[in-house]
Amino acid sequence: MDNNNQTLATNELATLPLGHNWYQKVASNFEIIQSYLNKLDTDEPEANNLKNKFDNMSDKLNIYETNIQAIVNILSDYDVPIAIVDGKVVEIKEGD
C-alpha cells in the first residue's frame, strides 16, 4: 500500500459528530502509520549499513588523530615549536 500522498486525519477527528464514521478515519490513520512502520522494518539493513560506515569513519578519524599526535610528538622531540591546540596543529612561540 502506498500512502505517501495521504495525510492523517487529526484535527478533524475532534470536531466530528459521534454519528459520523469517525472510526473509519481513525482506522485510516492506523493504516497510514502501519505503512511507515513497515518501511522502517525493511530499512534495517540500510540503517546497519549507515552505522557500519559511521563506525568505519570514526575508526579512520581516530587513526588520523593518533598519527597527527605522533607526528607532533616527534617534531617536539626535535624542538620544532608546534603543538595541538583545540584540535589544530599550531606553531608555538619559544617559551610557550
Tens digits of per-residue pLDDT, 6-17?
666 665 655 656
Average the pLDDT over 48-69 and give the result.
87
Of 70 and 38, more confident: 70
Of 41 and 80, more confident: 80
pLDDT recorded at residue 79: 82
Beta strands in 1-96 (DSSP E): 82-85, 88-91
Q: State the pTM of this model.
A: 0.44
Of 53 and 6, more confident: 53
Residues whose CB is less than 8 angstroms from the CB of residue 47 and which lie 6 or more positions away in sequence, other chains included: none
Q: Which three cell numbers stand for residue 27?
A: 482506522
